Amino acid sequence: MRKKMIAGNWKMHKTNAEAVRLVTQLRRMLEKKPARKTEVVVCPPFTALVPVAELLKGSKIQLGAQNIFWEEEGAFTGEVSARMVKSAGAKYVIIGHSERRRYFKEDENIINKKIRLALKNKLRVIHCVGETLEEREHNLTQDIIINQLEWGLKGFTADDFKRIVIAYEPVWAIGTGKTATPEQAQEVHAFIREILNTLYGSQVGTRITILYGGSVKPENAAGLLSQPDVDGALVGGACLNARSFFQIIQASEGA
């Protein structure tokens, strides 16, 4: 049975004090009404990893980082390594987010290096894939997804995939208020499974957890999470409020 997951990507939001307040609220809510079928992951900015990790001790909420650099260490001013985020308490790391691709020009070669280092350092990976609005309008969604899966994950084994989660994020739905319909999300998620089985072995796509990301809110979560190939969500803006994030977790529990 595939694992269900709701992960929150805080992006560049929350000071340490604000992060502590948010996680404290979320933890209290989940202690009153635990998520029994859904793994919950929060991904604050680097600066808040340590204080959030301290708050999460003894809870089932997992900690993730939003990025790592593609080298182990060295003269890379301003960058953060896999070993650093691991030492700060992170269990997961988001790699390949469309904002990293768009603003920092990360390509599949860089993404592949990052995933390789994350796995080497015993981190679990949330690997993001997805097409832009222009690519969708030109019927290139499947071509883009194949390229990102084939080259971003090139060289990995079936065992490696046990520590990788895929997040399908249509770029046109991130931070825009637009959301793929449940049917659109299901179509691409099913396609991702098919491609993973073809590229990496008959059981990889079948067993892997695939999240949907792109303006997921309490109002639309249940419809998206009810789809057979949608195993959870990578949540953006709605995870910055403990109540709305908790409501999405509850939608996963009920799906």
For residue range 57-107, what is the model confidence (pLDDT) as tens digits?
999 999 999 999 999 999 999 999 999 999 999 999 999 999 999 999 999
Per-position DSSP letters for 111-149, written without gaps between them:
HHHHHHHHHHTT-EEEEEE---HHHHHTT-HHHHHHHHH
CA–CA separation, 106 and 115 (whole Å): 13
Is 97 tagged catalytic?
yes
Distances (CA, A) of 7 to 132, 141, 240: 22, 24, 12
Annotated catalytic residue within 127, 131, 169, 189: 169
**Residue among 20, 18, 62, 70 at smallest CA distance from 43:** 62
CA–CA separation, 4 and 26 (whole Å): 18
Is 127 tagged catalytic?
no
Annotated catalytic residue within 39, 97, 108, 127: 97
More confident residue, 215 or 196: 196
Fold exhibited by the domain 4-254: TIM Barrel (3.20.20)
Q: What residue type is assigned to position 93 of the chain? A: V
C-alpha torsion angle, residues 240, 216, 171, 81 (rounded to 10): 40
CA–CA separation, 246 and 12 (whole Å): 20
Q: For position 177, what pLDDT does the model report?
A: 72
Q: What is the pLDDT of residues 146-165, one digit of tens each?
A: 999 999 999 999 999 999 99
